[in-house]
Amino acid sequence: MADRSLTRRGRAAVAAVAGLTLVLAGCGGDSGDTGGSTGAGGAPDTGEPLPSVAADDALAARVPPAVAEDGVITVGSDSTYAPSEFLAEDGQTIIGFDVDLFELVAQKLGLDAQFETAPFDSIIAGVGSGRYEVGVSSFTINPERLEQATMVSYFDAGTQWATRAGNPDGVDPDNACGLSIAVQRGTVQVDDITARSQACETAGQEPITIDQYDAQSDATAAVVSGRDAAVLADSPVMAYAVAQTNGQLELLGDIYDSAPYGYVLPQDQADFAQAVRDAVQALIDDGTYTQVLERWGVQDGAIDDPTVDPTVG
């Protein structure tokens, strides 16, 4: 995400950006708490309440005393990443499939989840320092992150590109040399687009202008406005963004580099991580896991084998 040169302006583009920012991220802002509530603006209208689950006493007994003593687990989350985690229309309540799912994980552990908005690239460090007790923010598990934290897999996603409808800039993800491309700061897509830009230079072509944004909603809005030619992000996020723009954006190319998302926990809490893993497995086994994913239309990313610190490339 970042800067870019405006190629299309006007009232329609401004309105589109404003609407997209509101729908995808609420409107920016400070921390908000949530228990995965439904009915707030932006939540799926299924007519069915979010399921709840009973605490598992054996799992709850494995929660570290410092976490268990107040009955609340504090969660760091970047609330700009719809439909994973984003702000409802009230600008404060954090909603999304990540939120709904982890609320159930917390219930299994005998806890309430308190979500707090945080910059994406600060969350892992925040978990390490004790500011947050867990990070839940669509973190793709990779070797670099496993060096900093213990991670528990719970979902699979790949990378997907999107551009304005009709692809007016003729973007080819395999040859985007010389174009301005939007991406969210701190994501695996930064490494992806950086490698592509370096390949352009090696081939004697113009590098890619990589515009990095703090919020995914801003990266997406930059393409709607024409400031950037395309955007890449996790596949469920791009699919949701395209749906929310009412035909102003379209998906580009195939999904690639599928990898697991992981909950982020401190490195010295391996047993707690295993308890979180077992809580996810219990939700898979009783069907509530699938209910949450189907509620948000992201069931294609379902897994059946949550793992602590899985081996990844």
Task: Please tell me the predicted confidence (pLDDT) of residue 6.
Answer: 27
Token output for 118: 């945080």
> How confident is the model over 71-103, as pLDDT tens digits?
999 999 999 899 999 999 999 999 999 999 999
pLDDT band for position 46 (cuts 50, 70, 90): low
pLDDT band for position 114 (cuts 50, 70, 90): very high
Task: Please tell me the predicted confidence (pLDDT) of residue 21.
Answer: 41
Spatial strand order of the sheet with 94-95 comes to 80-81, 85-87, 94-95
Contacts of residues 200-203 at CB distance under 8 Å and 24 or more positions apart, as own/partner, are 200/175, 200/176, 203/177
Task: Please tell me the predicted confidence (pLDDT) of residue 110.
Answer: 98
Strands 209-213 and 180-184: parallel
Chain Cα centroid distance, residue 134: 15
Task: Please tell me the predicted confidence (pLDDT) of residue 9.
Answer: 23
Q: Nearest Cα to 209, choosing from 222, 245, 78?
A: 222
Phi/psi of residue 70, nearest 5 degrees: -100, 0
> How confident is the model over 263-279, as pLDDT tens digits?
999 999 999 999 999 99
> How confident is the model over 232-270, as pLDDT tens digits?
999 999 998 898 888 899 999 999 999 999 999 999 999
Instruction: Judge whether 130 and 84 are in contact, CB under 8 Å.
Output: no
Task: Please tell me the predicted confidence (pLDDT) of residue 265.
Answer: 98
End-to-end Cα separation, the chain, in angstroms: 25
For the entire predicted model, the pTM comes to 0.77
Give the integer Cα–Cα distance in Å for 86 and 44: 13
Task: Please tell me the predicted confidence (pLDDT) of residue 8.
Answer: 23
> How confident is the model over 144-191, as pLDDT tens digits?
999 999 999 999 999 999 999 999 999 999 999 999 999 999 999 999
- Domains of the chain (ranges plus CATH)? 11-24+159-257 (3.40.190.10), 26-158+259-301 (3.40.190.10)
Task: Please tell me the predicted confidence (pLDDT) of residue 58.
Answer: 97
Instruction: Judge whether 88 and 42 are in contact, CB under 8 Å.
Output: yes
Q: Is the peptide bond before 83 cis (omega within 30 degrees of 0)?
A: yes
Instruction: Judge whether 130 and 121 are in contact, CB under 8 Å.
Output: no
